[in-house]
Amino acid sequence: MVNKEGLIREEMKKREEIINIFDKNYLLEAGAGAGKTTIIVQRIINHIITSEINPANLVAITFTKAAATELAERIQLKALEYLKGETNPEIIQRLKAVDKIFIGTIHSFCELILREMPFDADITPDYQIIEDAEEFHNEIWYRFLRDREEEYKKIIDLLSKVNIDYKELRSKAILALENPDIRFSGYEDDDYKFEEIEKEFEDIKKDYEYLNIEPFKNNSNLAKLFRFILEEKQSLINYLDSILKEYGKEEFDIEVIFEKVIAKKYWNLDNAYEYKNLIEGIYGIYYKLNAMVYNYCTEFINMAVDYKKERYQGKLTFNELLYRASKLIRESSTARKHFKNKYKYFYIDEFQDTDPMQAELVLHLTDKETEYNGVKRWQDCKPVAGSLFVVGDPKQSIYRFRRADITIYNQVKEIISNNGEVIHLDINFRSSDDICNWVESTFRNKDNISFGFDEYSTDVQAGFTGILSLWNNENLEERTVRGIYKYNYPEKEDQEYVANIVGDILRNYYITEKVRKRKEEIIDGEKDYYNINRKVKEGDIMILTKTNEETGFYLKSLKDRGISAVLAGEKNLGDTREVLNLFILIDSLVDYRDNIKIVSALRNSFYLDLETIELFMENNKNLSQFIFLKNKIDEIKHLSVKKAFTHMNEIVDLSRGLSPIAFIEKVVESQIGVYDIHRQYERLERRDADSALRQTIEILKSKNCGSIYEIREELKNLIRAKVNYELPISKEEAENAVRIMNIHKSKGLEANIVILVGAHKKRTVSSSTHYVQKDENNRSIGFIVYAGSHNILGPKEMERKEKEKLFMEAEVDRILYVAATRGKSVLIIADAIDERSFLYPLSKNINKEIKLENEIETKIKDLMISEEKKRELDITKDSRVIKEISNPSYLKVTPSQFELAGDDVRESGYERRRKIYISPRLRNTRILKPKVMGPRGKIYGSIIHRAIEILINKSNKLNNVSEDIIDYALDISINEGMDNLEINKTNIGLFYSIANNRVEEILNIAIEKGNKGARGIIKRRIYKYARKVLNNFINNEDILELFRNAKKVFPELSFTIAIDEKNEAALNRILSFLFKDETKLAEKGNKTILINGTMDLVIQSENDNWTIIDYKTDICFSKDMDRKLRRDYTSQLEGYKILFEEIMRDKNIKVDNLLFYSTFNDRVIDIYGKVLI
């Protein structure tokens, strides 16, 4: 057996060979930290020095612009280094010409090709590159719907018969528009007509109408379907959803389905075959319906693709660049000949991230043949010797969602293996012995377990030959961290604990750092480095998360402790407070008649306290006058309010003399109303704010906004859109802050200490949006996955889904490998106890645990209130005292105080209206079985409300609900609701019965371990029940129907409105809902009512109907729950209706539906008993 030193010597010899041999194609499978860039740089320089080549013939392709910039700089520096001692004039000339090497991304290389031969590529020379592909394709989609309605009308009429709204196919159309090399197909040999299927269904019903329904089971939805078909004898249109849904769940097997729907005692009936014939007949209906609907959907989407091809030839996305360039080289012998003469040597980094179009382009440009008979498959290409130098690590192939397929990598690997050499590089120059040994032990597949890598690659997984470290980070310091640790924190939301660990390490610990010796210091046989110990710095630490969603929480926790930190990855521009302030400010000026928006601007853009604003509004109902009238501003006595309106007035004046963009630039430049001018920003905080605002202004410029109204709309879109926040350009900033990012973003980066968080994140794989296969002509044929409510399946979709799952599961292992190999000296991983956890395969192989020296209290940085803010609050407090000495001029209430006041109101309101027809589906469920029991009370109710709000916002109106989003919603809402809960018998009684033994147990835990430990137990109980509520909510058919038909959704809509005698009708309606004593108080002359509240959910439908939904977490065992909820809460919902219509009076909006959603019974209830949908 070869020892480690022998393996290292053997590999170093091989490394020397590959940087000096240029007549052979190479694929280097180089693991993490293998020094890939160093090899590429040295080989390019050696290539130029030892071969008589023109540097302009070289192409170096990298994955990102940042990597291209780094590679170009390193080649330049290496060339300068060799120029110092070079005397050969020809070599000097070539070294000076290294700037002629093309170094860039594959997209920039494609652009270079297309700019040179645009007409051959069938595009105009002045084509435009579109960077925001999603917005571009959104625009095309809506224009297609508008311009081609007559052409697609027949299709949407047919889709409407099976309850598919063609507008819901937007995301599928955008998928097709973003993949120009794929032609999406369906059931090509099947062309079924609905009328024919309908007739066949009627024949089946008639043929089997005599069958007894008794043998069909009662507990199977499919069995119930057969019962209904035989019993009700209705037309096919009434069973479409059920047939598509029930038959689409699994592969058809007549025996399996027969036993699933027929009770066992009837299996041996004499006429059992007739039941099987019926089942098979209805399956035939299902197959034809499914194929028909699938084909219609795909035909509709392909119409949008064809529309783009006709109308947008001069606009190319990055994928279009790649597609057009690869198509040009594949199909045009003239283009192939021209560019093969121009570019002869290709160096490609990160080849595991290659998609099929990139592979096709490069293989055709390096192929030995130039002239083809017809079109040649790139898989049949044979590269010229020495034309390809490819570097990649299939263990880091983690971009399948971008079509970077390990299958493509393996195909190219085979080509190079047959026309060159594949070399494995196992030496890791980055990580210590501790980390490398642990990575090998953890990721090498042992005993055929389902995690890690085998020695040799498979169709779905990379091979793993080993990992060799050249660095032993041994030290004698006691307080030095080294190697692999885990941290144990039982709560899901661990950002505070992680921030404390970071703070503890920064204060108390050292790390060992490798320092390379100078050449003159190296003695043969000795190491070329030495170790030093130093205190840990912020720039040493990198925190990695599974997804982007949680990165912001770790950032906040670190900053709260005064620890410098930066974020990399995607985030919403609206998450930056200053960008949000800018939108709120502009929104208030555009809709200046809307008091709510002005209050929002005072609160957010000018940082006024709500108590200050409420005090001011008690005597000033029309806030817009203070924006425009300076004499009104002069009347304001409160200094902070006066200053805010003065600034708003100045901003309005500013808008009159400038273009919209120049106006926005001036507003940002002035800082007032955008930045928090009352406090001192930290350097990194200010950098983030400045960067986000600069990015916002540049995006607004690109939109060519012609008015302040267009600016407002673009800002509204921007604060919701995700953008890339790269790491700071300044190396100094990156080196002096903790870096936080998701694992995908960390590829190619490193840190002395890496912390991998998310013990409670499940090992889940994302659902596929489509599947691709090659036809006999090597063209990409796609099949869209119409998931969700459509209940339709593509050809062989179940089979393809299972195969894709293998690829996705394998990629999860590779994602973990990427995370584990970022660390140089220390790796800290959250301890995952649950085997289903994402991190479980890693944490189970760690023995050392890192703990806080003392279970220190969280030391949040003192966010000092500025002197100006103190003065504002002092003035407000004094004004309030003076105000309250006199008789108040308003009555302050909330909608929860409304009640049905008097028998006449009861009769004319709820009792009368409840007699309206109730739908059969609702009438049949009067005897209710509770779906969720358990906790109750205001705290639990607020947690549920908050969780649903987060769920709606994060899942794009329930269109994309995942387990991670549900977990995220529960984590946030439960912690917000519970973190300050005092543990006593009364509060525990909200979550357990007082007679329950757990009450005393939790009280004892609170005494022994404090409130935090006791809260943890209660949190877990809440989590159990709240998760059921969320699962019920997202699967409730009435809720889903409301969301499917929604144009806009407003969860937790807060409002403040003042109603006085000027609007007598609304005032009288509100007075009729108040308690009697308050009514008397109002009648004494206090005619102004100031109402604050929050509507749980407001939905505007596509046809502009408005619905208000109120969540009720009441525990109700009554068989007539509908009546009880209507009795107790109708007045509150009718109050919401009055208030909402009053707020939206200028837009003449009327509320059409008032609904309750009972979390206890998972029911949507109309307060008037109408049919819901």
pLDDT at 702 over 50: yes
Each residue of 429-488: pLDDT tens digit?
A: 889 889 999 999 999 876 656 788 888 888 889 988 888 888 887 765 678 888 999 998
Tokens of 84: 């110092």
What's the DSSP call for residue 602? H
Q: Which range has highest mean pLDDT (99-113, 222-236, 587-601, 696-710)?
A: 99-113
pLDDT band at 817 (very low <50, low <70, confident <90, very high): very high
Tokens of 310: 């006709």
Average pLDDT for the chain: 81
Per-residue model confidence (pLDDT) at position 1063: 63
pLDDT band at 1068 (very low <50, low <70, confident <90, very high): low
- Residue 1002 near residue 1018 (C-beta atoms within 8 A): yes
Each residue of 938-950: pLDDT tens digit?
A: 788 888 888 898 8
pLDDT at 315 over 80: yes
- Residue 633 CA, distance from chain mean position: 45
Per-residue model confidence (pLDDT) at position 729: 39
Mean pLDDT of 532-559: 87
pLDDT band at 274 (very low <50, low <70, confident <90, very high): very high
Per-residue model confidence (pLDDT) at position 717: 79
CA dihedral 821, 825, 826, 827 (to 10 degrees): 10
**How many CB atoms within 10 Å of residue 165?**
14
Mean pLDDT of 1090-1108: 85
Each residue of 119-154: pLDDT tens digit?
A: 999 898 888 998 888 888 988 998 899 899 888 888
pLDDT at 887 over 50: no
Per-residue model confidence (pLDDT) at position 162: 79
pLDDT at 883 over 60: no
Q: Which has more confidence, 15 or 923?
A: 15
Tokens of 894: 């909330």
Mean pLDDT of 900-922: 36
Per-residue model confidence (pLDDT) at position 1073: 59
pLDDT band at 564 (very low <50, low <70, confident <90, very high): confident
Report the DSSP pairing between strands 128-129 and 182-184.
unpaired
Mean pLDDT of 729-739: 68
Q: What is the CA radius of gyration of the chain?
A: 34
Per-residue model confidence (pLDDT) at position 736: 82
Task: In whole angstroms, give the CA distance from residue 391 to residue 387.
Answer: 13
Per-residue model confidence (pLDDT) at position 60: 95
Per-residue model confidence (pLDDT) at position 861: 38
- Residue 965 near residue 954 (C-beta atoms within 8 A): yes
Per-residue model confidence (pLDDT) at position 915: 31
Task: In whole angstroms, give the CA distance from residue 591 to residue 462.
Answer: 58
pLDDT at 1074 over 60: no
Q: Which range has highest mean pLDDT (307-316, 551-560, 666-675, 685-694)?
A: 307-316
Report the percentage of the chain scoring pLDDT > 70.
82
Phi/psi of residue 758, nearest 5 degrees: 105, 50
Report the percentage of the chain scoring pLDDT > 90.
27
pLDDT at 980 over 80: no
Per-residue model confidence (pLDDT) at position 39: 94
Please give the helix or strand (H or E) that residue 44 lies within, else none.
Answer: helix 36-50
pLDDT band at 864 (very low <50, low <70, confident <90, very high): very low
Each residue of 373-423: pLDDT tens digit?
A: 778 889 999 999 999 999 999 999 888 888 888 889 999 999 999 999 999
- Which residues partner with 830 through β-bridges? 487
Q: What is the DSSP string of 1099-1152?
A: EEETT--EEEEEEE------TTHHHHHHHHHHHHHHHHHHHHHHHTGGGT--EE
pLDDT band at 992 (very low <50, low <70, confident <90, very high): low
Q: Which has more confidence, 248 or 301?
A: 301
Contacts of 294 (CB under 8 A, 6+ apart): 186, 187, 786, 792, 793, 794
pLDDT band at 997 (very low <50, low <70, confident <90, very high): low
Per-residue model confidence (pLDDT) at position 893: 55
- Residue 421 CA, distance from chain mean position: 41
Among 579-593, 655-669, 877-891, 979-993, which is the least confidently predicted range?
877-891
Mean pLDDT of 826-838: 91
Mean pLDDT of 825-841: 91
pLDDT at 20 over 90: yes
pLDDT at 2 over 80: no
CA dihedral 510, 514, 515, 517 (to 10 degrees): 140
Mean pLDDT of 740-759: 91
pLDDT band at 1075 (very low <50, low <70, confident <90, very high): very low
* Nearest CA among 372, 415, 422 for reference residue 392: 422
pLDDT band at 54 (very low <50, low <70, confident <90, very high): very high
Task: In whole angstroms, give the CA distance from residue 106 to residue 318.
Answer: 10
pLDDT at 790 over 70: no
Tokens of 514: 């490798």
* Nearest CA among 294, 322, 20 for reference residue 155: 294
Task: In whole angstroms, give the CA distance from residue 510 to residue 476.
Answer: 11
pLDDT at 833 over 80: yes
